[in-house]
C-alpha cells in the first residue's frame, strides 16, 4: 500500500505528513460494508470536508477574478465548475480510479469508473490535503485545476444549463409566456438496479417529442434530453 500512496503523492505533487489521511481518501464505503471486520474508515467524512473546501476555493477564485459579476452570475459559474461530472473528470485526469479501495461487488460493477465514486474521491483528496497541509495548499491545489476551466467572458449560453436554454429558445421562437408549462419531461424507462440505474427521459411540447436522453440520474437524463432537443431545433 505504501508504494501506491507514494504514487499518489508524486501525481499530485504534495508530500503528506500524515500518510493515513491520504490512504483514507481512497477507501470507498463498499469495502467496509463487504468487510465489516476491517478497522478502517471510509472516505465519506473527508469527502464532506473536501466538498466545502472546493466550494470555498472556487468561490474565492471567481469573486476575485470577476469583480463585475453579480451574485447570480457567480453562483452559476461556480455550478458550472463544481459538479459531479466536472469533479469526476478531474479525478480521471489524476488517475484516482486506479487507487480506489472498493469491494469485489463494486469492482464487478465497474466502480473504478463510476462518476459518483470518482467525484467523491477527488473531494476526499482535497479534504485530506486540507487537514494535512492547511487551507492555502488545498486552495492552490483546487485552483490549479479550476483556473484553466474558468469562464473568461461569460454569455448567458455559457452559464445556463440545457433545460434553461431550451425553454428560452422555444419561448423566443414561440413568442408565448406559456411555453414553460407546455414543455414536459417524462421518464420512459429505468434499467438496472440501484445504485447502477440508467434513466431514459424524453422531452416534448404539445405531444411532439423534441429529444431523448439517458443518464445515471433522472436530472442528468433530463439535461441530456434537452441537449438533444437543442441540437434538433438548431
Half-sphere exposure of residue 66, counting CA atoms within 13 Å on the CB side? 20
Catalytic residue among 47, 106, 115, 123: 123
51 catalytic, yes or no? yes
Question: Can you tell me the distance from the alpha carbon of 69 to that of 75, in angstroms, rounded to the nearest whole number?
Answer: 10
Catalytic residue among 47, 51, 106, 222: 51
Question: Can you tell me the distance from the alpha carbon of 139 to that of 188, in angstroms, rounded to the nearest whole number?
Answer: 42
Q: Which whole-number Å values give the CA distances from 1 to 11, 16, 88, in the listed order?
A: 16, 15, 23
* Sheet order of strands, 208-215 included: 183-191, 198-205, 208-215
Question: Can you tell me the distance from the alpha carbon of 65 to that of 82, in angstroms, rounded to the nearest whole number?
Answer: 16
123 catalytic, yes or no? yes
Nearest to 43 by CA among 81, 89, 8, 78: 8
Residues noted as catalytic: 51, 123
Amino acid at each position: 500500500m505504501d508504494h501506491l500512496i507514494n504514487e499518489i503523492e508524486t501525481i499530485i505533487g504534495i508530500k503528506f505528513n500524515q500518510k493515513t489521511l491520504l490512504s483514507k481518501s481512497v477507501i470507498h464505503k463498499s469495502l467496509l460494508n463487504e468487510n465489516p471486520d476491517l478497522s478502517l474508515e471510509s472516505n465519506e467524512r473527508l469527502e464532506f470536508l473536501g466538498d466545502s473546501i472546493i466550494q470555498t476555493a472556487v468561490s474565492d477564485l471567481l469573486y476575485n477574478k470577476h469583480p463585475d459579476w453579480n451574485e447570480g452570475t457567480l453562483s452559476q459559474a461556480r455550478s458550472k465548475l463544481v459538479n459531479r461530472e466536472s469533479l469526476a473528470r478531474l479525478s480521471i485526469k489524476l488517475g484516482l480510479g486506479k487507487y480506489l479501495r472498493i469491494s469485489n461487488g463494486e469492482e464487478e460493477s465497474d466502480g473504478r469508473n463510476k462518476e459518483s465514486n470518482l467525484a467523491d474521491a477527488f473531494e476526499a483528496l482535497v479534504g485530506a490535503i486540507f487537514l494535512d497541509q492547511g487551507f492555502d495548499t488545498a486552495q492552490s491545489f483546487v485552483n490549479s485545476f479550476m483556473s484553466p476551466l474558468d469562464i473568461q467572458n461569460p454569455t448567458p449560453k455559457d452559464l445556463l444549463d440545457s433545460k434553461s436554454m431550451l425553454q428560452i429558445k422555444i419561448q423566443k421562437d414561440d413568442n408565448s409566456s406559456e411555453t414553460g408549462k407546455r414543455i414536459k419531461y417524462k421518464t420512459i424507462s429505468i434499467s438496472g438496479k440501484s445504485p447502477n440505474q440508467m434513466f431514459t427521459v424524453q422531452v416534448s411540447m404539445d405531444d411532439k417529442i423534441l429529444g431523448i436522453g439517458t443518464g445515471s440520474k433522472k436530472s442528468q437524463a433530463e439535461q441530456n434530453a434537452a441537449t438533444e432537443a437543442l441540437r434538433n431545433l438548431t
